[in-house]
Amino acid sequence: MNYPRIFFSLLAACAVLFSAGIASAQTAQEEPDTLILSDSLNYDDAAKVSTFTGNVIMTRGAMTLHSDKLVVSEDAQGFQYGTATVNGNKLVHVRQEDPTRFEVIEAKGRRSEYDGKKETIEMIGQATVTRFICGKPFDTISGARVIYNQKSDTYQAYGGKDSPTVGGRVRSIAQPRAKIDAAIEQCRQASR
């Protein structure tokens, strides 16, 4: 299936979120401020690792991430990596809003990983990514893992025992582009 690029903007934005824990060379005009709330923070400058634990809430522009633990690191070449995890049966939650398109993208999974060198974002375990238009779900991908590759603008979804779907299979629902565009226009008209 060919999903619109915006469907995976949430996953791409996760990359930016994870890298925000380490200082960036970009100017403040190019990227929004990042706020991370947690019960504790352990930063190791020599190892270039930041560990946020306890009710972690990261906000960056219109993006929010909720987890129990967020570990952000940087390798010697400057590539950044991040892992968000939760305890027990909870899920990592990521939410990205695009008010101009009346769109919200939500991703959830037991773990979320970002690899800056490969430019991949992975939602792992009970993984689901859903796009909402005007509060109604339109596109959804579920599986044991959902991976987005920023370089190639492609995604992969894998089934398995930790899939939220019956039988552990990948489940993908996509609406026609015309239906999405009509919903956006209807929302735009209603908001005037």
Q: Which residue has the higher pLDDT, 30 or 72?
A: 72
Q: How many helices and strands (H and E) does the chain possess?
A: 2, 12
DSSP type of residue 129? E
Which is it for the CA torsion 103, 108, 113, 119, positive or negative?
A: negative
Domains of the chain and any CATH numbers: 5-190 (2.60.450.10)
Is 186 in contact with 179 (CB distance < 8 Å)? Answer: no
- What is the tens place of the pLDDT at every residue in 129-163? 888 998 888 888 999 999 877 677 677 899 999 99
Helix (H, G, I), strand (E, B) or coil at 61: coil
**Residue 26 CB partners (closer than 8 Å, separation 6+):** none
For residue 103, the model assigns a pLDDT of 87
For residue 180, the model assigns a pLDDT of 86
Average pLDDT over residues 33-62: 91
Question: How far is residue 136's CA from residue 98's CA, in Å, rounded to a whole number?
Answer: 14
pTM listed for this prediction: 0.76
**Residue 79 CB partners (closer than 8 Å, separation 6+):** 115, 116, 117
For residue 67, the model assigns a pLDDT of 97
Q: Which residue has the higher pLDDT, 14 or 65?
A: 65
Question: How far is residue 140's CA from residue 132's CA, in Å, rounded to a whole number?
Answer: 9
For residue 163, the model assigns a pLDDT of 94
Residues of the chain with pLDDT > 90, as a percent, come to 36
Residues of the chain with pLDDT > 70, as a percent, come to 83
Tokens of 183: 């919903």
**Residue 42 CB partners (closer than 8 Å, separation 6+):** 50, 51, 53
pLDDT of 181 higher than 50:
yes
* pLDDT bucket at 171, cuts 50 / 70 / 90: very high
- What is the tens place of the pLDDT at every residue in 69-98? 999 898 888 888 889 999 999 999 988 888
Helix (H, G, I), strand (E, B) or coil at 7: helix
Q: Which residue has the higher pLDDT, 76 or 2?
A: 76
For residue 126, the model assigns a pLDDT of 95
